[in-house]
């Protein structure tokens, strides 16, 4: 049992928060989308009551899981499930078209939130129960801190993980480590390991990390190759007053994610506007992260499309305002794709783009190597000339 206040306790608490954040982002989006169609006054009530009930249910389920994991062999089974969950984290999300019904009442919204959280929280329950190692106090404290954070900061957390994919990789590695640690502490094998092979307490968790990263990256590479052949799905395409059918136009693409860096690229375009020969066709592109395929089971197609459209327009708003103020014509596009760099390159191919203009985040080469860089990814996946500005 983990004692309160010890270094092991605080480390496990951080692990619970980390696991819950990495695995709960899309659960929180379902909560917001389930109340999307309600009047504003009812939205807050539906989110509050639905979230409260979902949190209580999650805690109860996880406590039950903690007790079940004390039985022989169940930790070994749980470890295999965790390894599968961790590998899935590293794969591009599959696009869902939406199969749920449009929510028309507060009761329906609360019901949707509860059912969705029940179905989508299996990975959270197993992961958190494994980290808690039998400590109910640690479990409750960890969930009490992380669940409200996920619910009220879901959009920020999703965008953060999208911009810095290393967070997902670290989360998957953590799950691999927890899976290995769970396996060697199963009552069926723990006594033998303690007596004959104590070194497995270090080797098996390390092997769990290696298996997750290697297998996840291998399968992700195969999935990415298949994704590149599929046509992009666009939302919120607008002509912006550009002439149609003029093949002589130089097509310039500006990827925009709402960050200060992408806005610097827009400002640089305006400053260099006179360098380009007319006619010039400017396209703003926003890439929306694909929501987990399970989300589509509970959300209507209209609400799914509305979510992508609205989030994309929010991130495009500042760039469009600057171009509008300068009197520069453009088109704007919102597309969905789990991998921003590959999606940008795919869009450039489909639309015959002649040049991509984008701004780096101003980080060092070492930091970009660790955190990942969309600009670097675009350079690797496209033959279109790319101009990078700081």
Q: State which of 172, 198, 222 marks the end of a domain.
A: 222
What's the total number of domains in the chain?
2
Residues 266 and 204 in one domain: no
Separation CA 286–CA 290 (nearest Å): 13
Is 80 exceeded by the pLDDT of residue 264? yes
**134 and 21 housed in the same domain:** yes
Residue 237's pLDDT is: 57
d(CA 347, CA 41): 39
In this structure, is residue 350 part of a structural domain? yes
Query: Could you read off the pLDDT of 102-156 as tens digits, one per residue?
Result: 666 778 777 777 777 777 777 778 888 888 888 888 888 888 777 777 666 666 7
Do both 128 and 46 map to the same domain?
yes
- Note whether 390 and 354 are within 8 A (CB): no
Side-chain-side CA neighbours of 347 within 13 Å: the count stands at 28
The C-alpha atoms of residue 75 and residue 317 are separated, in whole angstroms, by 49
- Assess whether 75 and 218 both reside in one domain: yes
Cα–chain center distance at 101: 24
Residue 121 lies in a domain: yes
pLDDT (tens digit per residue) in 162-210: 777 788 888 889 889 989 998 998 888 989 999 999 999 999 999 999 9
Q: What is the CATH number of the domain that holds 288?
A: 3.40.50.620
Average pLDDT of the chain to the nearest whole number = 80
Claim to verify: residue 256 and residue 315 sit in the same structural domain: yes
Distance, CA of 7 to chain centre: 30
In a domain? residue 52: yes
Instruction: Provide the percentage of residues in the chain whose pLDDT is more than 90.
Output: 16
- 15-27 pLDDT, tens per residue? 888 887 777 767 7
Domain limits at 277? 234-389
Q: From 222, 248, 265, give the residue that closes a domain.
A: 222
Are 89 and 37 members of one domain? yes
Q: Are residues 17 and 153 in the same domain?
A: yes
Strand partners, 238: 332
- Domain's final residue, options 198, 222, 246: 222
Residues 112, 75 share a domain = yes
Please tell me whether the overall predicted TM-score, pTM, comes out greater than 0.75 for this model: no
Indicate whether 384 and 354 sit together in one domain.
Answer: yes
More confident residue, 258 or 238: 258
Residue 143 shares a structural domain with residue 291:
no
The phi and psi torsions of 356 (rounded to 5 degrees) equal -110, 130
């Amino acid at each position: 049992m983990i004692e309160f206040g010890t270094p092991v306790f605080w480390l496990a608490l951080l692990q619970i928060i980390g696991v819950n954040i990495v695995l709960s982002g899309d659960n929180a989006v379902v909560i917001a989308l389930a109340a999307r169609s309600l009047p504003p006054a009812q939205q807050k009530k539906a989110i509050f009551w639905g979230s409260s009930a979902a949190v209580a249910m999650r805690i109860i389920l996880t406590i039950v899981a903690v007790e079940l994991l004390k039985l022989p062999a169940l930790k070994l089974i749980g470890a295999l499930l965790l390894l599968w969950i961790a590998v899935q984290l590293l794969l591009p999300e599959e696009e869902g078209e939406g199969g749920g019904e449009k929510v028309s009442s507060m009761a329906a919204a609360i019901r949707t939130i509860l059912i969705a959280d029940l179905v989508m929280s299996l990975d959270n329950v197993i992961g958190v129960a494994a980290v808690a190692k039998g400590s109910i106090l640690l479990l409750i404290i960890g969930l009490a801190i992380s669940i409200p954070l996920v619910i009220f900061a879901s959009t920020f957390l999703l965008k953060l993980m999208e911009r810095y994919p290393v967070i997902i990789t670290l989360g998957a590695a953590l799950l691999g480590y927890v899976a290995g640690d769970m396996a060697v502490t199963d009552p069926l094998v723990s006594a033998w390991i303690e007596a004959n092979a104590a070194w497995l307490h270090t080797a098996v968790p390390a092997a769990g990390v290696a298996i997750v990263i290697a297998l996840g990256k291998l399968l992700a590479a195969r999935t990415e190759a298949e994704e590149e052949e599929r046509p992009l799905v666009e939302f919120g395409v607008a002509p912006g007053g550009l002439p149609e059918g003029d093949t002589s136009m130089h097509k310039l693409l500006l990827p925009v994610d709402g960050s200060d860096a992408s806005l610097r690229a827009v400002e640089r375009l305006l400053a260099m506007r006179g360098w380009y020969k007319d006619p010039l066709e400017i396209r703003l592109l926003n890439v929306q992260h694909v929501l987990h395929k399970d989300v589509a089971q509970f959300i209507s197609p209209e609400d799914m499309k509305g979510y992508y459209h609205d989030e994309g327009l929010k991130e495009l708003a500042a760039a469009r305002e600057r171009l509008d103020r300068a009197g520069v014509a453009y088109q704007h596009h919102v597309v969905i794709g789990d991998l921003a760099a590959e999606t940008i390159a795919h869009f450039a191919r489909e639309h015959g783009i002649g040049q991509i203009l984008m701004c780096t985040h101003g980080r060092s080469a070492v930091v970009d190597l660790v955190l990942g860089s969309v600009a670097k990814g675009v350079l690797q996946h496209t033959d279109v000339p790319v101009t990078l500005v700081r």
